[in-house]
Structure 1
């Protein structure tokens, strides 16, 4: 669905995107091979931009594909980018490629989410993390943010939950600043309101409450919380504390709204112990 925007003309909307990107009219004009005077006229409504100009400015301003369609509609043009359902036969090769990628990443966790963190695909490594999660949270449609931060989800077993929660919420805030998505804003308000235990990696007590596990978690938290290259997610599983760092990949120059909003998140073991535990766990499952 194309984003519905108020009927204020495309000029003020382009100005909002420019100001959000913190660039001047002159800089935008230079990048878009135009003039500051013309950009000013477009933004004030004195000049109606051509379809090509709308797309050029949107490209320079790094406007999300869904929002580019909205700008075109407000400017009086037809949407340029399709929004193909992921289960459409036209995207079968994409789905197959994603499945191969997720499988190849095993035993490490990896999943694919849409623009509001709905899980559209996941591998067996993710299943390991979901042990003990409430069935209600696993009923379709599954949402990765809700699953992670809900008190009946992964949250009780994330040893450094305050730090990880703050990072996830900051990630959502950055995304909300880039797109006009009421659904994403609603999701953010929901998960931000979940109880936020005041534990830290040093004083953590993982789910289960065993004293031996508590000591292990505390020691692992102190040793791993200072991972030099990224904030790790410290996760209790089977009496051990696993350490992961995550990365997110998106598609380069997508021409479809659905594809543009897909993100592949992978969890890389941050130490040898975590890697060994994952390999051993999957070997037992085979």
Structure 2
């Protein structure tokens, strides 16, 4: 027996053009979910999912959003699915300097200031820095002005030979980690700008000296970034936080990255700075 969930109209004609089908199939395959599994999650049927993917039927707006939710589709791409299905985008993209974002900006800035003396910053989907605390400013001492001209880009600052790359002791390992992170994001966003940034930073030369920190050990709990600063080596592990259930594309694409000291010497030095 075929069951079509409320909100899904199997008899509706598909919109002109390729429609939502190829996009939906791409997300389902990317998530390694079968048509039957997706149907069970969304309260639909494998037959209806098949019809949508092949362009034989058009899902309701509610069903598009339900499928996107169960496939964990990013907010920007949910708008793309809606458009492909013939509906208006659901999620706005509000500039960060819009007055409606005042409370968000103030809260984020308070959060990263409260993390001092440890470094913390906020980046957008293209890794442009939208906020940073004094811990980050400390790490950027000595970086040439042309890399500090707005918009600051965290990947470019980190991996450029004139940026932090020359001071990162374990650059090869940290570089591999960052490039893998970007590669995963490109797979989700289908962004030409992000792909261009990846190709740029991946092409930067890697200095010959790149190895473990001064004690020859690496913490087992996470890969650290070991960076020279003012005659000493500081060691950090990073954590990235995003907003839960965002209803705006801009907010959905913000990421707060905090750097936690990975050894007692780094803690002691940062606390001595009085930031």
Shorter-chain TM-score: what band? over 0.9
Unaligned 5+ runs, structure 1: 1-5, 203-216
1:49 corresponds in structure 2 to 59
1:26 corresponds in structure 2 to 36
Deviations 1:232-273 (A, max 9, x none): 000101111100000000000100000000000000000111
Q: Which of the numbers 216, 225, 229 marks the counterpart of 2:221?
A: 229
Is the Cα–Cα contact under 8 Å of residues 18 and 55 in structure 2 kept in the other structure? no
Larger proportion of helix? 1
TM-score (norm. length: structure 2): 0.92
Q: Which of the numbers 242, 246, 259 marks the counterpart of 1:250?
A: 242
1:17 corresponds in structure 2 to 27
TM-score (norm. length: structure 1): 0.89
2:183 corresponds in structure 1 to 173
The more displaced of 173-182 and 261-270 is 173-182
Q: Provide closer, same or farther for how the CA distance between residues 7 and 85 of structure 1 changes in structure 2, counting only shifts above 3 A.
A: farther
Q: Secondary structure at the match of 2:238?
A: strand
CA RMSD of the aligned region, Å?
1.2
Q: Secondary structure at the match of 2:29?
A: helix
Is the Cα–Cα contact under 8 Å of residues 113 and 121 in structure 1 kept in the other structure? yes
* Mapped partners of 1:30, 1:8: distance in 2: 25
What is the Cα deviation at residue 46 of structure 1? 0.5
1:267 corresponds in structure 2 to 259
Deviating above 6 A after TM superposition, structure 1's stretches of 4 or more consecutive aligned residues are none
* Mapped partners of 2:207, 2:227: distance in 1: 15
The more displaced of 6-15 and 257-266 is 6-15
1:212 corresponds in structure 2 to none
2:90 corresponds in structure 1 to 80
What is the Cα deviation at residue 200 of structure 1? 3.0
Q: Counterparts of 1:64-143 in structure 2 under 5 Å? A: 64-143=74-153
What is the Cα deviation at residue 199 of structure 1? 3.1
2:50 corresponds in structure 1 to 40
Q: Provide closer, same or farther for how the CA distance between residues 7 and 190 of structure 1 changes in structure 2, counting only shifts above 3 A.
A: farther
1:191 aligns with 2:183: no
Q: Secondary structure at the match of 1:148?
A: helix
Q: How many residues align?
A: 260
Deviations 1:200-235 (A, max 9, x none): 324xxxxxxxxxxxxxx5x33x13x2x111000001
* Mapped partners of 1:173, 1:193: distance in 2: 14
What is the Cα deviation at residue 7 of structure 1? 4.6
Q: Provide closer, same or farther for how the CA distance between residues 126 and 8 of structure 1 changes in structure 2, counting only shifts above 3 A.
A: same
